[in-house]
Structures are given as structure tokens and as C-alpha cells.
Amino acid sequence: MQDRSFVSHHICSRTGEKLPAGEVQNLSPAGAPILVQYDLDAVRSAMTREKLTGRDLNFWRYRELLPVSDPANIVSLGEQFTPLVPLAGSLGGQVMVKDESRLPTGSFKARGLGMAVSMAKELGLKKLAIPTNGNAGAALSAYASRAGMEAFVFCPDDTPDVNVKETALQGAHVWRVNGLINDCGHIVGEGEKEMGWFNVATLKEPYRVEGKKTMGIELAEQLGWQVPDLIFYPTGGGTGLIGMWKAFDELEAIGFIGPERPRMVAVQSEGCAPIVRAWKAGKEEAEIWENASTAAAGIRVPVALGDFLILRALKESGGFAIAVDDDAIMAAQQQVGREEGLLLCPEGAATVAGYQAALDQGLISKSDRAVLFNCGNGLKYPMPPAAASLDRHQPIDWGAIASTS
């Protein structure tokens, strides 16, 4: 692995102002997310399809398009490629699920937090803090412990119990907060001065988006260096959607793909749909969503720091934003579980419901090749009761058993 970085500089995502690389940074001087930029001419020479052939099947294989300069600073828990699982039986058409639940800590948060913690190690940071709806806190906890760092995690008080317990078991200090994720974010921000921690909240540092963009690179490679027609992405903070859109530009610049792009689709819950509301109104930024509520807690984000970047990607790609209700989300989760044997998290199920709604509304066609992102392991979330039992000491009613099939 190369002992160097191809990073040329950073930029403010709002103003385009150039910023230095290799320094500890949160937001830009304009208060906007910072994006990492690369010497893509140099990357084109150093990273070829042929050179990728012999590399391990994990996201670190794309090292020339990642910010870590010293391989000794990589913090890994054994990340591997996540599979593309066809869903033709359930939905018809050309539908695949990119199942991110196979990553360490059971969610796609491993990509972003693995990268953020690796860069924190490279920059000499020792104490990290995050607001979370569950999976991001678990990922930070695991990677920070692996790196010998201290992690502080704040989550809404209705966060699934398994998320809170796994976060604590993996070494973080974790608190439930009587509020939503943006309220937890305020606490993390207030503690920066008092506690001296570094804030790794969504898009408040440059590197989580770099980890998440590997979803787009990996997807393109799995499709033979092509892109699908549609990407349905469960959208809260939207780091992955922003990252993938960035990745496709970088891949074109180094000659791996052409100018074709997927239509990006942001899927939200009707109980918390600030991006959908802004999209429908033709706005470039989203207003805070009051009284946010949804069973898909991972997309219960009332206000997204990168709202303008999400909306920009939707517009540039010819995509759209769509909201589905919780009943549709739960129905989709049960349908895919029963018919496909794939246990989706509620946020992943939202993309299935979003795909079905987009078909019904005539926004897409069954001939479109669509990729839906399942962002986490369905085992972490409450499931419907399954209470049937048998008394082995009594005669078995085989007819009753047969009637359930």
C-alpha cells in the first residue's frame, strides 16, 4: 500500500474556497461541510483497473481516492465488499439490494466512521464525540476502541436498546437524551470546548463522506464499471448520497466510467421529510421538520447540514425525493423477508417502499436497473411477534400446523 496521499486540498462545499489538507478541521469558514479534493491526474496514473485486480475486496482497495496517507493509520475491523442481492421475485423489474448490513457493526456507518477514525488517528486526535440515531454511535464506538481512542455518544431516548448496548459494550461512553438527533448534536457541539473532544457528527468533518463514497465506487466495480439507472437511498443526513455523487465524478475523471450517471432518489418517511418538502417546493435548502416521528429512526433527521448538497445531487442527476409512510415501510420489510429471505432494517425497507411508490406514480419504469440500499442489519430493530408454541406432552394438531403453510 502506498505511503502517501493523493489529496491536493480541501474546499468549502458552499463557496468553493480552497482550504489546506492535513489539518484538523470541522466546518469551513462559511459554516459548510468541507470536501476533500484529489490530484486526479496523478490518481489516473497510479490507480488502474488492472492494479485493482490483485487487491483485497474491501474499500481500502481504492486507496488512491482516499485521504489516509500512512497505511499504519488505517483502523480496520475486516470490512469486505457488500453483496448485490436481486429482488426480482418480490418487485419485478431489475431491482437489486446493496446489502450494507454485512459490514462490521452491522451497518454502512462502518464506512464513514472507519475512515473518520483512521484520519483522526493520522491527525493525532484522541477523543471523539457523535450524536446518533443508533448505528453511527455503534460504529464510532467500535473503531475508536480499535484505535485506542475515547468515544462519547449521545442518542435519542427511544434509540433501539440493542444499539445503545452494543455501543456501550464496545467501549464508548453513551447517554440517552430526551430529544431528537439534532438535540443530541447541540450537546456534542456545546461539549467541544468543555470536554475537548472532536466532533464527528454527519458532515461536520471532511472524512465520513470519503468513507461513504466507497459505496459508489464499489457499486460501479460490481457492475463492471457501469452505473445503474437508479439509486434509492434512505436519506437522513445524506452523507452516502453526497459521497456517491462525488465518487462518480472522480471515477469519470480517472477514466473508470463515462459521463452516465444514475438518477439519485432520496427516500424519507412521511413523518420526517424535509428533503422531500424542499424538493417539491423547488428550494435549494430544507427547513427544519418539526415534531419528527417515524419507525425508521435512522432517517429521522429533522434538519440536514448537507441539505443543499443532497438537493443539488438530485437535481443534477435528474432524480427526485419521495416520502413513504411507516405502514408502507413495515409492509415492505415483511414482504422482502417472507418472499426473499432478506431481513432489511426499517430504513432499507423504506427504499423498497419508495421504489414501489415511484412505480405507482409513474416516476420510474420496471425496465430501469435500480439499486436499493439496505443500510443496516434488521436484527437490531423490533420485529413482529412470533408466538406460536407447541406442548410436546400433548397430541400435535397436524392440521393446524398445515393450515399455517
DSSP for 119-173, written as a single string = HHHHTT--EEEEE-SSHHHHHHHHHHHHHT-EEEEEEETTS-HHHHHHHHHTT-E
Q: What are phi and psi of 96, to 5 degrees?
A: -130, 145
Question: pLDDT tens for residues 12-29?
Answer: 999 999 999 999 999 999
Instruction: Please give the backbone phi and psi of residue 166, each rounded to the nearest 5 degrees, phi first.
Output: -65, -35
Q: What is the pLDDT of residues 242-273, one digit of tens each?
A: 999 999 999 999 999 999 999 999 999 999 99
Residue 398 has φ and ψ, to the nearest 5°, of -65, -30
Q: How far apart are CA 325 and CA 25, in angstroms?
A: 38
pLDDT attached to residue 175? 98
On whether residue 223 sits in a domain, the answer given is: yes
Q: How many domains is the chain built from? A: 1
Please check whether residue 221 lies inside any domain of the structure.
yes
Q: CATH number of the domain that 293 lies in? A: 3.40.50.1100
Q: Is residue 165 part of a domain?
A: no
Q: State the cell numbers at 276.
A: 422531500
| Nearest CA-CA partner of 192 in 113, 123, 118, 129 | 129
**404 assigned to some structural domain:** no
Chain length of the chain: 405
Q: Which residues are bridge partners to 38 per DSSP?
A: 7
Domain for residue 67, yes or no? no
The predicted model gives 165-180 an average pLDDT of 97
**Residue-number span of the structural domain to which 241 is assigned:** 84-103+208-380
pLDDT digit string (tens) for 86-119?
A: 997 768 779 999 999 999 999 999 999 999 999 9
Centre a 10 Å sphere on the Cβ of residue 43 and count the other Cβ atoms it contains. Answer: 19
Task: Give pLDDT, residue 3.
Answer: 61
Reading the block at residue 294, the C-alpha cell is: 417515524
Looking at the domain assignment, is residue 366 inside a domain?
Answer: yes
Contact between residue 153 and residue 179 where contact means Cβ atoms under 8 Å apart: no
Residue in the block written with cell 489539518: 23
- For residues 122-132, give the mean pLDDT: 97
Query: Is pLDDT at 363 greater than 90 in this prediction?
Result: yes
Q: What DSSP string describes 254-322?
A: TTSS-S--PEEEEEEETTB-HHHHHHHHT-SS----TT---S-GGG--SS-TTHHHHHHHHHHHT-EEE
| pLDDT confidence of residue 385 | 85
In-domain check, residue 13: no
Contact 149, 125 (CB under 8 A): yes
Q: Give the pLDDT score at 161.
A: 93
**Which residue, among 358, 210, 240, has the nearest Cα to 301 in the 3D structure?**
240
Residue 255 CB coordination number (10 Å): 14
Whole-number Å distance between alpha carbons of 97 and 33? 29
DSSP 228: -
348/234 Cα distance (integer angstroms): 7
pLDDT of 1 > 70? The answer is no
Q: How confident is the model at residue 342 (pLDDT cuts 50, 70, 90)?
A: very high
Q: How far is CA 281 from CA 222, 274, 311, 320, in A?
A: 36, 11, 11, 12
Amino acid at the residue 353 = A
Q: What per-residue confidence (pLDDT) applies to 382?
A: 85
The angle that helices 274-281 and 307-317 make with each other, rounded to 10 degrees, is 50
Is residue 355 classed as helix, strand or coil in its secondary structure?
helix
| Region 211-225 average pLDDT | 98
The span from the CA of 104 to the CA of 101, in Å, is 8
Q: Say which DSSP state 27 is in.
A: S
Q: In the numeric block, which cell numbers belong to residue 353?
A: 417502499
Which residues, including other chains, have CB under 8 Å from residue 223's CB and lie 6 or more apart? 84
CB 301 within 8 A of CB 236: yes
88 in a structural domain: yes
Rounded Cα distance between 116 and 110, Å, is 10
Using alpha carbons, select from 195, 203, 193, 204 the residue that is nearest to residue 173: 195
